[in-house]
Homo-oligomer: A and B are copies of this chain.
Amino acid sequence: MSGDAIIARLRAAIGTDQVLEPAVAGDRYRADFSGANPCSPRAVVRPTSTTDLVQIMRICSAAAQPVVVQGGLTGLAGGATPQPGEIAISMERMSGIENMDADSMTATVLAGTPLETVQRAAAAEGLMFPLDLGARGSCTIGGTIATNAGGNQVIRFGMMRNLVLGLEAVLADGTVVTSMNRMLKNNAGYDLKQLFIGTEGTLGIVTRAVLRLWPRQDSRVTAMVALQGFAQAVALLRLAQQHLSGSLSAFEAMWASYYDFVIANIPSLRSPFDASHPMTVLIEAEAADDAANHAAMERLLEEALEQGLIVDAAIAQSERDVSRFWAIRDGIGEVRRLIKPHCSFDISIAISAMPGFLERVDGELAAAFPAVRTLVFGHLGDNNLHLAVTTGHADDLPRLNDIVFAATADAAGSVAAEHGVGVLRRPYLHHARNQVEIDLMWRLKAALDPQGILNTGRVLPAATAEGAAIDCQGNS
């Protein structure tokens, strides 16, 4: 069917102003936050309801018209960036909170609702929605479900998968799967929501969700500690999980390669320590009682000092200190501007395999590129490492990717821990998953989207070899 014919049909079905042609849509829908490979969609459709979306998918399905789904466009893997010939479905008009149930501690929300809107609505009820990440103001609940978003509190609350109780999704053929479970325990049949969490829109389009909320925690205690190395950090992690029990909400490890670089290069940052240390960890605990929370953190640090696990420690005495500590961890945003061009990795590795992995990567990178610089930090408790690697030369980026991903594969790690696969990680998926797994993913794709019109070209490697678009800048 011609583009004009489809657009006319979509307009007739859901209204003229819900369907934008590229010239009208402008740049907004041409790329996600990675900025890689921007491309104008054939049209942008903006459903206001599940009913609209059903009509859209029936029309696209009948015409075998490929679509790409867009939430807040804050992804870093190119997944929401249109590919030639696709129609973009923007979920921005399906925004709003349908229901806040304080007794059941659930929120029912539309997929296009920004994360921060949900966080605020929960707070207004004395509750908390614990998913949190930098893009909170723009990223949508649907997007965080589709990508199984992580962030800073995963060690305590898990990823988005653990925070979704139920959802509604529209399949490629327009079928509405309404599975709005509100209970923590429900084993009545297959847990179908799992098909739509973390599958990046390739199996269905999430339209609504039931989210799990927690009581708000009024006390936060944040500490920065200096350590002599990785083994001490691992021992400290276990001690922190014991002492802070279920209150431990962040355990952010920064190797000296990262820590010293951001302190030296970002003028606004101040370290709480005078000396440089092989490793620094930001620890945070949230609880109800401020005195008890502080006492637990102090007991932890005393015990860690006694055991020789840490060499220095600072507990934030004010909100300003908390911000100062987190600013060092969040310096990665600035790093991205300071060391262009670079490859930025979002990998995960079992903790026991990390030392070997890092030693190998350091060795191989240094052998291949004597002037290489590798900054390492990560959510240690979640097995998630972020590496920023640069030689100063864009030509070296593919080789840097190959070295790091090969080591990741040999450590049985993941090439996409929390940022998703999208388009940019897709050529590397086989480093993290075997062929039987990939075949089984294709079996699911074929069962749910036999024409392959939903976010095709994302996540799943092509059946045949192909030259995928790789953009090292954007894949952080």
Contact = CB atoms under 8 A, between A and B. Distances in A.
Interface of A: 101, 103-106, 147-148, 150, 154-156, 158-159, 161-162, 175-192, 194-195, 197-199, 214-217, 234, 238, 241-243, 245-248, 286-289, 292, 295-296, 299, 348-353, 379, 381-384, 412-421, 425, 429, 432-434, 436-438, 440-441, 443-444, 446-448, 459-460
B432 A188 contact: yes
A48 to B, nearest CB: 22
Contact of A178 (B234, B429, B434): B434
Contacts of A444: 190, 444, 447
A184 B242 contact: no
B238 A215 contact: yes
A243 B148 contact: no
B184 A348 contact: yes
B188 A416 contact: yes
Nearest to A353: B104
Please provide the 7 A-B residue pairs with the shortest distance between their CB atoms, ordered closest to farther: A246-B246, A194-B194, A188-B432, A183-B348, A183-B383, A447-B447, A245-B287
Contacts of A418: 185, 187
Contacts of A162: 158, 162
A436 B177 contact: yes
Contacts of A104: 350-353, 383
A198 B191 contact: yes
Contacts of A443: 447-448
5 contacts: A183-B349, A189-B433, A189-B441, A191-B194, A217-B245
Contacts of A287: 245-246
B190 A441 contact: yes
Given A104-B350, A183-B350, A447-B443, A188 B415 contact: yes
A190 B184 contact: no
A236 to B, nearest CB: 12
- Chain B CB within 10 Å, residue with most, of A103, A156, A194, A215: A103
Contacts of A432: 186, 188-189
A387 to B, nearest CB: 15
Contacts of A246: 156, 245-248, 287
A175 B238 contact: no
Nearest to A230: B103
Nearest to A234: B103
A446 B436 CA distance: 18
A103 B238 CA distance: 8
B191 A429 contact: no
A91 to B, nearest CB: 20
Given A162-B158, A246-B247, A288-B245, A185 B350 contact: no
A437 B148 contact: no
Contacts of A295: 292
B437 A189 contact: yes
A243 B288 contact: yes
A58 B381 CA distance: 41
B245 A425 contact: no
A398 to B, nearest CB: 19
A181 B414 contact: yes
Nearest to A459: B189
A154 B185 contact: yes
Contacts of A433: 179, 188-189
Given A184-B348, A414-B186, A444-B190, A175 B436 contact: yes
A420 B190 CA distance: 10
- Chain B CB count within 10 A is highest, among A185, A186, A287, A438, for A185
A382 B185 contact: yes
